[in-house]
Amino acid sequence: TIQRPRSEALYAEALEHIVGGVNSPSRSFKGVGGGAPVFMKRAEGAYFWDVDDNRYIDYLAAYGPIITGHAHPHITEAIVRAAQNGVLYGTPTELEVQLARMLKDAIPSMDKVRFVNSGTEAVMTTIRVARAYTKRSKIIKFAGCYHGHSDLVLVAAGSGPSTLGIPDSAGVPISIAQEVITVPFNDIPALKQALERFGHETAAVMVEPIVGNFGMVMPHEGYLEQLCALTREAGALVIYDEVISAFRFHYGSSQTFAAFPDQAAIEPDLTALGKIIGGGLPIGAYGGRRSIMEQVAPLGPAYQAGTMAGNPASISAGIACLEVLKSPGIYERMDRLAGQLAGGLKAAADKNGFALTINQIRGSFSAHFCNHPVTNYDEAQNTDGELFGRFFKLMLDQGINLAPSKYEAWFLTIAHTDEDIHATIEAAEHAFSKL
Ligand code: PMP
């Protein structure tokens, strides 16, 4: 198995200087039994090399953005060009107009767009805009959906459906948590109950239309249609957080994803974007109906600004990434490879007597150590995290890089090959035989 002395030494040093040794808690190995995370030094295509020169096949894709594979030449070239032309102007550029047009063409519910620097910012601002537009303050969200780290969305469910939230994080005031109602996903009666009680005070219902944060979870047939109808009946806005889902399953968002039977009915009022649309550089964006977006400064009273917003480097990388994603057949290919891999994992688990529930949506899937379906957060929580942690480490020691969390998806990229899939299945067979 792989040795990682240099990663271990760097982690020990990182702990001296960086909180927890990591710049995002999701990178820590706390959830998989502890130990030093792997320090990577180079990435290309589907592979990573760590500081000890071990190679890994990567299924993390940096938590989603790297759908083209690492260091894709077209994106790299765009970033180099941007660097040579100066990385930050503080003025408008033609590039911003071009990416805005590309997003609007792909996501027709967005009449107007604004670029920011992260998914967190995009979501946070959609909430402000919805509040400005409706002149109401409460937000309804869904248990287990992650919408970034701003105060309002770091709130978990209270003791039952349609109770007021309690903060998920120290430092979030109770007064803010009380503006948030959390209900289970895929549960129309629970949403109805929440809207009956709080609908008249609710500015928006915030949802990941296809969930990416407690595994990959599809909405039940008709769920989003009903969610939108009920929300609008209450006079509130529908916000889709498509930071993960946009451009993940096809060239567009879940709003035009053919897998939805009620496609036409599911346009939101506002959409938050991030990740893939920046090609791996920091980005976020939000957009929506003209009358709502015109609440935003300088046109309207809702303030939002950003020194780095729309910077030429991020925008250039985003344009290049979307250009790559327009190539015919690439989503179908990721779908096929993900299907092979998921099938191989399932067979390896079965053979060794482990129950595994796989939720595949095109080129990404989640694998849950349980013998029940996973359609909401309760079901995703009720899976074997200890077993996942041991599986994760057995895979890592064979050069397979997954996210260190039982909730996180496996992301295929356009760089993965049939050989990578076979090697990964072989590693999984070995891992399951050792579990
Ligand atoms: N929304 C969703 C659905 C996300 O998955 C994430 C990040 N994983 C965010 C928002 C926050 O994005 P960022 O990390 O860029 O702030």
Answer whether residue 206 shows pLDDT above 70: yes
206 SS3 class? strand
**Using a 6 Å cutoff on CB, does residue 123 contact ligand 1?**
yes
Distance 147 CA to ligand 1 centre (A): 5
Q: What is the pLDDT of residue 164?
A: 59
Average pLDDT over the chain, rounded to whole? 95
Give the whole-angstrom CA distance, residue 256 versus residue 268: 11
Catalytic residue from among 11, 47, 133, 146? 146
Atom nearest to 282 CA in ligand 1 = 15
Q: CATH homologous superfamily for 5-71+328-434? A: Aspartate Aminotransferase, domain 1 (3.90.1150.10)
pLDDT in the model for residue 160: 44
- The catalytic residue among 275, 346, 393, 406 is 275
Per residue in 132-176, pLDDT tens?
999 999 999 999 999 999 999 888 754 444 445 678 888 888 899
pLDDT score at 338: 98
Provide the token pair at 184.
Answer: 């289970």
- Is residue 375's pLDDT more than 80? yes
Question: CA geometry: angle at 283 spanning 43 and 41, to 5°?
Answer: 20
Is the pLDDT at 122 greater than 80, yes or no?
Answer: yes
At residue 374, does pLDDT exceed 80? yes
Tokens read off for 255: 């709003």
Q: 291-328, pLDDT tens digit by residue?
A: 999 999 999 999 999 999 999 999 999 999 999 999 99
The per-residue pLDDT for 157 is 52
Ligand 1 center to 26 CA (angstroms): 12
The H or E element containing residue 237 is strand 237-241
284 pLDDT above the threshold of 80:
yes
| DSSP code per residue over 384-414 | -HHHHHHHHHHHHTTTEE--SSTTPPEE--T
Judge if the beta carbon of residue 213 lies within 6 A of ligand 1. Answer: yes
| Ligand 1 midpoint to CA 42 (Å) | 24
Sheet with 237-241, side-by-side order of all strands: 112-116, 284-288, 270-274, 237-241, 202-207, 138-142, 180-183
Q: Which amino acid is at 232?
A: R
Residues of each domain in the chain carrying CATH 3.40.640.10: 73-325
- Fold category of 73-325 in CATH: Aspartate Aminotransferase; domain 2 (3.40.640)
Q: Which pLDDT score, from 0 to 100, does residue 330 have?
A: 96
CA angle 72, 50, 41 (to 5 degrees): 55
pLDDT of 185 strictly over 80 = yes
- In this prediction, residue 109 carries a pLDDT of 96
Percentage of the chain exceeding pLDDT 70: 97
348 alpha carbon to ligand 1 midpoint, in Å? 32
CB 407 near ligand 1, within 6 Å:
no
C-alpha dihedral, 431 to 339 to 61 to 316, nearest 10°: 170
Would you state the pLDDT for residue 264?
59
Query: CA–CA separation, 240 vs 238, rounded Å?
Result: 7
Element (H, E) at 50: strand 47-50
Question: Does residue 408's CB lie within 6 angstroms of at least one atom of ligand 1?
Answer: no
Neighbour count for residue 12 (Cβ, 10 Å): 11
Annotated catalytic residue within 241, 269, 335, 420: 241
Mean pLDDT of all residues in 372-394: 96
How much is the ipTM here?
A: 0.99
**Per-residue model confidence as pLDDT tens digits over 211-262:** 999 999 999 989 999 999 999 999 999 999 999 999 999 999 999 887 776 5
Q: Is 60 in the pocket of ligand 1 (CB under 6 A)?
A: no
Q: Looking at residue 159, what is its pLDDT?
A: 41
**DSSP for 240-301?**
EE-TTTTTTSSSS-GGG-TT-TTGGGG--SEEEEEGGGGTTSS-EEEEE-HHHHTTBTTTSS
Whether 192 is a known active-site residue: answer no
Helices (H), 306-435: 312-325, 330-351, 377-381, 385-396, 418-434
User: Token digits for 392?
Assistant: 């994760």
Which tokens belong to 31? Answer: 């959830």
Q: How many secondary structure helices (H) and strands (E) does the chain include?
A: 13, 16
pTM of the model: 0.97
Residues spanned by CATH 3.90.1150.10 within the chain?
Answer: 5-71+328-434
Out of 60, 147, 277, give the residue to mutate to test ligand 1, the one with the largest number of ligand atoms within 8 Å of its CB: 147
Split at pLDDT 50, 70, 90, the class of 87 is very high
Q: What is the pLDDT of residue 398?
A: 98
Spatial separation of the C-alpha atoms in residues 59 and 51, rounded to whole Å: 19
Q: How confident is the model at residue 190 (pLDDT cuts 50, 70, 90)?
A: very high
Q: Does the beta carbon of 368 sit less than 6 angstroms from any atom of ligand 1?
A: no
Q: 242-264 burial by CB neighbour count: b if 16+ within 10 A, else e?
A: bbbbbbbbbbbbbbbbeebeeee
Judge if the beta carbon of residue 147 lies within 6 A of ligand 1: yes
Q: According to the model, what pLDDT value does residue 1 have?
A: 79
Q: Active-site residue 275, yes or no?
A: yes
Q: How far is the CA of 92 from the centre of ligand 1 (A)?
A: 26
**Ligand 1 atom index nearest CA of 121:** 16
Ligand 1 and 405: CB distance under 6 A? no
pLDDT of residue 261: 64
Look at ligand 1, atom 5, and give the residue with the nearest C-alpha: 244
On the question of pLDDT at 105 being above 60, the answer is yes
Is the minimum distance from the CB of 242 to ligand 1 under 6 angstroms?
no
What mean pLDDT do residues 185-206 have? 97
